[in-house]
Amino acid sequence: MRPGKWCGLAAVVALTATACGGGGGERGAGADGAPPDRAGFPVKVADCKGTETTFTGPPRKIVTSNAAALEMLLRLGAGDRVIGTGFPPGKGTLPGDLGARAAAVPVLGTAVIPKEKLLGSGADLYIDSFAAMGGMGGAGDAPSEAEFAAAGIRHVYLASTACASTAAGPQRDLTGVEGDLTRLGAVTGTAARARALVAGMRAKVDAVHKALADVPAGQRPRYFFFDFDAGTKQPMALCGKQVANAVITQAGARNVFADCDGDFKPVSWEDVVAKNPDWIQLGVRDRGSAAANAEAFDQAARFLKTFPATKGLAAVRNDKFLRIGSEPTTLPGTRTADTVEQIAHTLYPTRFPAAR
C-alpha cells in the first residue's frame, strides 16, 4: 500500500517543546526498561492548519495507522505502549527483533482501522500517516477531530507522508523524516533516543554527500522506481513529493518523474521509455523470506526484459537493476538513510571501496 496515496490537508509540521516538568503520573517503559523522560513536557504539536495539540506527559496507549509509524515507535523504545495498529508490517518486512516485537502488536485493521474500532480502542494517542482517509472505500469514514476528542484520543500525523501531497514543493532531503522522529520522540518522552536515531541517519547521508560532492547535478544518473506491485498494465510514477524522491536525490541520482505533482501518479510506458533511465529500481514489497523476495525481483526483471515497450531500454539490456525493497524506500523511518547508502554504493561503486 503506497503510504502517501490518501494524503490530505493536515499534518504535523511544527513542534514547540518546553522543559517545564509537567504533572501527571503516566509511565510506560521503553524497550530498555527505562520509563519515558518527562523533562521536556509540556509539548505542543501544531498541524498544517496551525491547530495545536498539547501533551502534558507521555501517552500510555498508542495506536498507529500503519507499519511506518509502528516501526518508528519501536526504534524509539516506545513500542510497549502501542496497543494496536492498522496496515501491519508483513512477515519479514522489519529486520531482526523489530519484526518479532511488531508481530506482538494487536492488529486493529489489515488496512485502515475501522472508525468504530479506532474510537473504541482505549488509545490516548493515534499516530496517523494519512491525513485524509474518507476515500479509502470500504474502510469507513475517518473520525472527525470532535470524535477523537470525545474518545479522549489525541491525533497527530507523520508530516513526511500526511502532508506530502499538499506540500509546496518536492521532498529533496530527509528533513521531513527526521522531523517526524524528533516530534514522536518529544511526544513519547524518548527525545534522547530520537536525537541518536537522527544523528545516525545524518552520519550515513553525510558520508554519501562527501563521496559524491564533485559529481555535477546534470551528470547524475537518471533513475526510475518501478513499482512492480502497483501493477504492470500501467506504471505508477514516483513523484517529487514522495519520501522516496528524497532518498533517490540524496543518493546522487535524478528521479525521472520528480517533476510530476503529488506523490504517486499513473503514467504510460511510453512516458517511461521517453525518460530513458540509466538505472531502474525493482520496487518489490517484502514477501516474507529471502527466497520469495528474490523470486519477486526476478519476476520484475523478467517483465521489463520481455515487455515490448521496455526491453529495448539500455538500462534493461544492461541489467542496470537495483533490487531494493519498496518499504525502506517509500516509507518514512531510519531505514531511508540505509537505502540512500545502498543506492549510492550501487551507482558509484568506485567511490565506496569499503562497501564492496
Residue-wise pLDDT for 302-351, tens only, equals 999 999 999 999 999 999 999 999 999 999 999 999 999 999 999 999 99
Is the full-model pTM beyond 0.75? yes
Confidence check: pLDDT of 59 > 70: yes
CATH topology of domain 12-199: Rossmann fold (3.40.50)
Residue 134 pLDDT greater than 60, yes or no: no
pLDDT attached to residue 165:
76
Q: Which of 45-59, 177-191, 254-268 has the lowest mean pLDDT?
A: 45-59
Compute the average pLDDT of residues 20-32: 37
Banded pLDDT at 137 (limits 50, 70, 90) = very low
Q: Whole-angstrom Cα distance, residue 87 to residue 67?
A: 6
25: confidence class by pLDDT, cuts 50, 70, 90: very low
133 pLDDT higher than 80: no
Task: Using only the alpha carbons of the chain, give its radius of gyration.
Answer: 20
Domain borders along the chain are 12-199, 214-355
E strands, 93-232, are: 107-109, 125-128, 154-157, 222-227
pLDDT of the residue at 58: 96
The pLDDT, as a whole number, for residue 39 is 82
Cβ atoms 117, 108 nearer than 8 A: yes
Report d(CA 54, CA 44) in Å as an integer: 4
Instruction: Provide the percentage of residues in the chain whose pLDDT is more than 70.
Output: 87
- Render pLDDT for 167-218 as a digit per residue (tens, 0 to 9): 888 999 999 999 999 999 999 999 999 999 999 999 999 999 999 999 999 9
C-alpha cell at 86: 492498522
> Position 248: which residue type?
I
**pLDDT value at residue 215:** 97
DSSP for residue 326: S
CB 282 within 8 A of CB 300: yes
Q: DSSP class of residue 80? A: G
pLDDT of residue 164: 82
pLDDT, position 30:
42
| pLDDT of residue 273 exceeding 90 | yes
CATH architecture label of 214-355: 3-Layer(aba) Sandwich (3.40)
Q: Name the amino acid, one letter, at 145.
A: E
Cell of 247: 532518498
- Higher per-residue confidence, 66 vs 18: 66
Average pLDDT of the chain?
A: 88
Res 354: pLDDT? 83
pLDDT in the model for residue 38 = 79
How much is the pLDDT for 157?
Answer: 87
Collapsing DSSP to helix, strand or coil, 45 comes out as: strand
